[in-house]
Amino acid sequence: MKISRRTLISGVIAVAGSAVLPRIAWANTTLSLGAGMLDTLSDGHLMLPRSFVLGDIPVAEADAVLEPFGLAGAASLLPDCNLTLWRGDDRTVLFDAGSGPDFMPTAGHLMAAMDALGITPEDVTDVVFTHGHPDHLWGALDDFDEPLFANAQHHMGQIEWDYWTDPALPDTIAADRLTFAVGAARRLEVLAEGINLFNDGDEVLPGITARATHGHTPGHMAFEIATEEETVMVLGDCIANHHIAFVRPDWPNGSDQDTAQGAETRAALLAQLADTGTVFAGFHLPAPGLGRAVRDGNAFRFEPLT
Ligand SMILES: [Zn+2]
């Protein structure tokens, strides 16, 4: 396993008129794994109100955990968005489709990252969704509401598909997530023809196995990519930050739709990842999102791959 390249697409982006710190915009980082190649591609980053992530955790308790990460007192959190691209066995597999232009101005930059890597949307043979949230799904269509990855087969977990395509969902989802429901339904309607639906443990594509990691959304899936060299895991959002999720995996994460199930999934998965030393790609971990979990007392620590 070897990290062989990092491409910067521009130096520093200053966000005009806000207190946001300048950000390095990176395009992609490549990990060579036997005959295959894994890239993480930047789609930019999100700007989330603190309360969306931290929910009801008392401010002082949260700040005590966030302080070593320089985030104590932060009014908003700016998680990176790292998509995973896997190339092997004549397939070019993109995990999630990014935000597209309609979610947040700081995200939806996937095309620049793909440009820097020299690939086009038409080169993608498969799009495999971890879940149906906007930053993972909304980039799947182009400006004409046609599939952007025009030659790709799309894949989603059956439970996740059933959830977001349920016509009753807009009436039952939390009011502040109504746009998530409407936005997902509109896109999945376009992708419905020919979609491959799968379940926990299924081999979605050769060497790529689905792992149920429910809680963040009802049917959230992570994926194991097995190569002759080692297995790497694509986490999606089941471990969605490098601070509280590792230090206090038992705390509820406000971005999880079922916070209790999300915490249970996270704690169990972290223990497994740490004990096996498995390398993973985390969608919202600090760019490029590649690393391992290490036990740290009763908790864990994110150790980026260098
Ligand atoms: Zn996300």
CA–centroid distance, residue 203 to ligand 1 (Å):
23
| Distance between Cα 261 and ligand 1 center (Å) | 17
Output the CA 218–ligand 1 centroid distance in Å.
Answer: 14
What residues make up the domain containing 197?
2-304
What's 263's domain CATH number?
A: 3.60.15.10
The contacts found for 168-172 with CB under 8 angstroms, 24 or more apart, are: none
* Residue spans of beta strands (DSSP E) within 147-250: 153-157, 196-198, 203-205, 208-212, 221-226, 231-236
**In the predicted model, is pLDDT for residue 15 greater than 50?**
no
Q: Is 184 left (phi over 0), alpha (psi -120 to 50) or beta?
A: alpha
Q: What is the pLDDT of residues 174-187, one digit of tens each?
A: 998 999 999 999 99
255 contacts 242 by C-beta, under 8 angstroms: no
pLDDT value of position 128: 98
Question: What's the gap in Å between 228 CA and the centre of ligand 1?
Answer: 30
Total domains, the chain: 1
Bigger pLDDT: 27 vs 174? 174
- Ligand 1 centre to CA of 132 (Å) is 9
Examine the pLDDT at 12 and tell me if it is beyond 70.
Answer: no
pLDDT-derived band at 6 (thresholds 50, 70, 90) equals: low
Task: Give residue 143's pLDDT.
Answer: 93
Q: Name the pLDDT band for 5 (thresholds 50, 70, 90).
A: low
> How far apart are the CA of 224 and the centre of ligand 1, in A?
18
Ligand 1 centroid to residue 136 C-alpha, Å:
6
CA of 129 relative to ligand 1 center, distance in Å: 11
Radius of gyration, CA atoms only, the chain: 18
pLDDT at 306 over 90: no
> Can you tell me the mean pLDDT for 158-176?
96
Distance (angstroms) between ligand 1 centre and the Cα of 184 equals 14
CA of 108 from ligand 1 middle (Å) equals 12
Distance (angstroms) between ligand 1 centre and the Cα of 284 equals 6
Ion ligand 1: residues, Cβ under 5 Å:
135, 237
